[in-house]
Amino acid sequence: MTEPADRGPVLRRRIEADLDSLREKSQFRTLETAPGINLCSNDYLGLAYDPRLKQAVASALAESAAIGGTGSRLLSGNAPEWAALESAFAEYSGTEAALYFTSGYAANLGLLGSLLKPGDVVFSDALNHASLIDGMRISGATKVIYPHRDTEYLAHALRQHSGGTGARVIVSETVFSMEGDVAPLEDLLRLARDHGAEIVLDEAHATGTRGPRGRGIAAELGAERNVLAIVHTCGKALASAGGFVCGGKMLRNYLINHARTFIFGTAMPPYLARQIEAALGLARAADAERAHLRAISMALRKGLTAAGIPCGTSSTHIVPILLGSNEMALHMAAELQRLGFGVKAIRPPTVPAGTARIRVSLTSRILQEDIRRLIAGAEAAWQSGRRTFAGVAHV
Ligand SMILES: Cc1ncc(COP(=O)(O)O)c(C=O)c1O
């Protein structure tokens, strides 16, 4: 029998073997940031550097009674700033209510983990974010994964699972974080209607960047109240931190009572609520930044396509340069870094095996001139990489 005292070395050996194996597969990740023009930032509207937002934080700090969260929202942490922000955010999202979580990850985990039960069936796009996957997983609901944006498959799956008594819920990102394409929301809404299913949407990459006043894809279709819940996050275009679950008042009350990531965590400091409210105002007004984002994204996709470099089905400010092998992705990253672009290779398990890539996420601070240089650099690296790695599977 193994003594408890022997368990330490076992774990250490396991950790070491795991890291060795990651290195062998070129999947070992480090925390180094790539210097240069930042092409892996989610600060889509450039607000992280905006002096108006900095000023709003400085004022909030100066005026704040407390600078600590002090406790869970259910205990001492429910500063009035949070209630004010949640009302403002519900108005922005076009829903009856909104509830703030300390991260988008916590919002998805708390929402799906508390809402879904064993016996329910959840239909999840194959490329949904890890936070959605983890939320579904801990719920114990039956998971049906449909191929990315494949509504025919989804319709078939909904028919197949029409007999049970549990809830049926479709879960999808709206702008997909690694592909930069958009969920077929009109079809999802029709399928949900036809099959008596509910919809949960994650707008993390659409918040601030898409829809009227940056209110997201659901708002683009006027469908904010036709879905059960919409998750908006604050760490990307809103240059802050946290996430909101937006929906009906009843859903909000349910989450306050059941979402473990809401209940069992300390509230964020109240000045952060003022930061998010200020960012919301700036994001609403950022039509010029959204137009610029659209223009540079289109130019990048056009240039890459003309050079024969695949960028998949992207139609947004997230443009993947699809490279296939880890080696090719690392080569492209190194070449672009040499030219002064801050990019990183994205490899499995973040993306499916064989789909390693450079995920270019554009922000409104990037210039058209930068895009022209990026295309030229990517084309040169693509050619040299294909010569160097002939025989390795690329896209
Ligand atoms: C689609 C999606 N949902 C949720 C999250 C988690 O949000 P946060 O970074 O605020 O935890 C992310 C991002 O990182 C994301 O890309």
Tokens of 172: 């999808």
Give the per-residue pLDDT at 217.
98
For residue 114, the model assigns a pLDDT of 98
246-274 average pLDDT score: 98
* Average pLDDT score over the chain: 95
| d(C-alpha 384, C-alpha 331), whole Å | 9
Q: Is the model's pLDDT at 179 over the cut of 60?
A: yes
Its sign, for the CA torsion 37, 38, 39, 45, is negative
CB 330 within 8 A of CB 189: no
The lowest-confidence range among 52-56, 75-79, 351-355 is 351-355
Task: Name residues whose C-beta falls within 8 Å of residue 240's C-beta, 6 or more positions apart in sequence.
Answer: 234, 272, 275, 276, 279
Across residues 244-268, what is the average pLDDT? 98
Q: If pLDDT is split at 50, 70 and 90, which confidence band does 313 have? A: very high
Looking at residue 1, its pLDDT comes to 47
Does residue 181 carry a pLDDT above 90? yes
- Cβ–Cβ < 8 Å for 246, 42: no
Does the pLDDT of residue 25 top 90, yes or no?
no
Q: Which pLDDT score, from 0 to 100, does residue 28 have?
A: 87
- Which residues fall within 8 angstroms of residue 12, CB to CB, at 6 or more apart? none
- CA–CA separation, 395 and 63 (whole Å): 54
pLDDT of 2 > 90? The answer is: no
Question: What pTM, to 2 d.p., does this model score?
Answer: 0.94
Residue of 86, 103, 120, 129 with catalytic role:
129
Beta strand 229-233 with 243-247: parallel, antiparallel or unpaired?
Answer: antiparallel
Give the range among 12-26, 47-61, 118-132, 212-226 with minimum mean pLDDT: 12-26
The partner residues of 250 in beta bridges, in order of sequence, read none
Burial class (CB in 10 A: 0-12, 13-18, 19+), 213: middle
Among residues 236, 292, 331, 344, the one annotated as catalytic is 236
Query: Among this protein's residues, is 257 annotated catalytic?
Result: no
Instruction: Say whether pLDDT at 19 is over 80.
Output: yes
- How do residues 126-165 score in pLDDT, each as one tens digit? 999 999 999 999 999 999 999 999 999 999 999 999 988 9
* Rounded distance from Cα 140 to ligand 1 centre (Å): 22
Q: Tokens 């896209």 correspond to what residue?
A: 395
Confidence of residue 395 (pLDDT cuts 50, 70, 90): low
Query: What's the Cα-to-Cα distance from 366 to each of 41, 63, 292, 295, 371, rounded to whole Å?
Result: 11, 34, 9, 11, 8
Q: Is 202 a catalytic residue?
A: yes
CATH code that applies to domain 64-284: 3.40.640.10
Verify whether residue 177 is a known catalytic residue.
Answer: yes
**Residue 392 clears pLDDT 70, i.e. is over it:** no
pLDDT of 27: 79
Closest C-alpha to 309, from 373, 368, 394, 370? 394
Report residue 123 as tokens.
């239909």
Q: Which two tokens stand for residue 364?
A: 């409104």
Residue among 127, 129, 132, 148 to mutate when testing ligand 1 (max atoms within 8 A of CB): 129
What digits encode the pLDDT tens for the residues 334-343?
999 999 999 9
Q: Name every residue whose Cβ is closer than 8 Å to that of residue 219 and which is 6 or more positions away in sequence.
A: 93, 94, 211, 212
Residue 103 beta carbon below 6 angstroms from any ligand 1 atom:
yes
Ligand 1 pocket test: which of 108, 127, 233 has the largest number of ligand atoms within 8 Å of its C-beta?
A: 233
Which pLDDT score, from 0 to 100, does residue 244 have? 98
Which tokens in the block code for residue 20? 């060795």
Domain residue extents for the chain: 32-49+287-388, 64-284
Assess whether the C-beta atom of 43 lies below 6 angstroms from ligand 1. Answer: no
pLDDT band at 367 (very low <50, low <70, confident <90, very high): very high
The answer to whether 335 and 381 are in contact (CB under 8 A) is yes
pLDDT at 3 over 70: no
Q: Are 382 and 332 in contact (CB under 8 A)?
A: yes
Q: pLDDT at residue 352 above 50?
A: yes
Give the fold, CATH level 3, of 32-49+287-388.
Answer: Aspartate Aminotransferase, domain 1 (3.90.1150)
For residue 250, give the 3-state DSSP assignment.
Answer: helix
Check residue 9 and give its pLDDT. 87
- Give, rounded to a whole angstrom, the gap between the first and last alpha carbons of the chain: 50
Q: Which residues contact 334 (CB under 8 A, 6 or more apart)?
A: none
E strands, the chain, are 37-38, 97-101, 121-125, 142-146, 168-173, 198-202, 229-233, 243-247, 318-324, 341-342, 345-346, 356-361
CA distance 252 to 120: 20
Helices (H) and strands (E) in the chain, counts: 14, 12
Asked if residue 141 lies in contact with residue 121, where contact means CB atoms within 8 angstroms, the answer is yes
The band of 32, judged by pLDDT with boundaries at 50, 70 and 90, is confident
Q: Is 42 a catalytic residue?
A: yes
User: Which residue do the tokens 């936070």 mark?
Assistant: 131
Strands 37-38 and 341-342: parallel
How distant is the alpha carbon of residue 12 from its chain centre? 33
| DSSP conformation letters of 166-178 | S-EEEEEESB-TT
Cβ of 232 below 6 Å from ligand 1: no
